Amino acid sequence: MEMGCCGCFGFSFAKKQKKNISPRVEAGNHVLQGLLINHEAVEEEEEEDDDEVDYNSYCDNMTDNEKDHEEFVNPAKNSQEILVYRMENGLICREFPVKETYKVVRSEDDNGNKMVNEYRRECKIGSGSYGKVVLYRSQVDGKHYAIKAFHKSHLLKLRVAPSETAMTDVLREVLIMKMLNHPNIVNLIEVINDPNTDHFYMVLEYVEGKWVFEGAGPSSGVGENVTRRYLRDIVSGLIYLHSHNIVHGDIKPDNLLITATGTVKIADFSVSQVFEDENDMLRRSPGTPVFTAPECCLGKSYHGKTADTWAVGVTLYCMIFGKYPFLGDTLQDTYDKIVNDIAFLPEDMNPLLKNLIEGLLCKDPMQRLTLEAVASHAWVVGEDGPILEYLCWCRRNRLQRKESGGSQRDIISHIN
């Protein structure tokens, strides 16, 4: 199967430039260089060893990045503390936990192909700031997997905040993915972490399909019917995340994989955050500029969930029109457009779709459509009916506790 760029697998660094960027723009806004449409900091050269990374090219302005990263941390408890508590108390949304392996055996098969434990290397499929993504095939079940490979020593050297390193980011992403189990979210299969080696691997479900939206700026959208199907999957997955008090932080087409059967799966939890309760207040957003909500551009506190919802609206606009609703020549110009401009919508477009886009791209986060409202919106419903809430494992378990007469304290504890 053909597969597009694999930046979705999370090798992105939460970097936001403080100064204006002067990107090269061609054909309107269809090709833009810089960080306006992509927050990844590094594009690596192909190396002989596909698990090696050129980290020297990465460190160009760490001071600005440290400030942004620090401001994104939940002011109450940080995500790591919450995630560790949930893991230690079994508060995860999986019937069966992610496999954990503590021994790495690197070898070659009879044909000279590199092996990592049971997995045989086939080809590199992505790269980014922290490591690489390589396609492997399991010699046990014969399936393909996308494996993210890291070097722990390098992650520990990369400082992303005064008291945090890149290893903090990677471990947070792992902990988040260990909690999740949903048909519209890329699944983490196994974590390989040998304490006696420098290697660290995340074995992920391999999604062989194409992107919702390929390249920096497509010439046209994907049509209403396909967009509706994709949007239903996106909303279902994001409602699930928000119900577990997880803010994705970087919803955009590049982070939405499409399977061979046309199912959308949300990927890349590298800048995601977790909350103890419904208080999802954040400060600076480390996501991708053109998908940033107006309230995030003002440098004030904002709700992470409503910012995710705005990004869904921008993604919907991209899928319909094949371009970004707000894009300037510089970062500041882009933010000015996001805050002040109204997205262009043709007069002759489907009025229901127009109403949906206007509701999602509402500047006022308090008046913006909620994901629950989107799920029952007339355009989204179409002939398929409202998007039904996914009955996840922890919710099923909670309902079983109620039916079996579990104590109120047990029920509340399990919800949290």
Q: Which residue has the tokens 């997997």?
A: 145
The DSSP letter of residue 185 is B
Is residue 250 part of the annotated active site? The answer reads yes
**Cα dihedral: 202, 206, 207, 211 (round 10):** 50
Q: Which amino acid is at 34?
A: G
Question: Annotation-wise, does 148 bind a ligand?
Answer: yes
Token representation of residue 275: 């909350």
Q: Which long-range CB contacts under 8 A does 383-392 form with residues at least 24 apart?
A: 384/232, 387/232, 387/235, 387/236, 387/239, 389/239, 389/243, 390/182, 390/183, 390/236, 390/239, 390/240, 392/93, 392/181, 392/182, 392/240
Residue 121, CA distances (Å) to 49, 106, 112, 124, 378 in order: 12, 11, 10, 8, 46
Counting every residue written for the chain, the total comes to 416
Return left, alpha or beta for 288; rule: phi > 0 is left, psi -120 to 50 is alpha, else beta: beta
Instruction: Please identify which of the residues 250, 268, 280, 308 carries the catalytic annotation.
Output: 250
DSSP letters, 321-333, are: HSS-SS--SSHHH
Token representation of residue 58: 């990465």
Check if the beta carbon of residue 91 is closer than 8 Å to that of residue 414.
yes
d(CA 277, CA 245): 6
Residue 171, CA distances (Å) to 108, 131, 180, 205, 206 in order: 28, 14, 15, 18, 20
Q: What are phi and psi of 101, to 5 degrees?
A: -120, 135
DSSP letters, 340-383, are: HPPPP--TTS-HHHHHHHHHHT-SSTTTSPPHHHHHT-HHHHTT
d(CA 338, CA 328): 9
The secondary element (H helix, E strand) that includes residue 300 is none
Q: Which residues are annotated as a binding site?
A: 148
Q: Which residues are annotated as a binding site for ATP?
A: 148
Catalytic center residues:
250
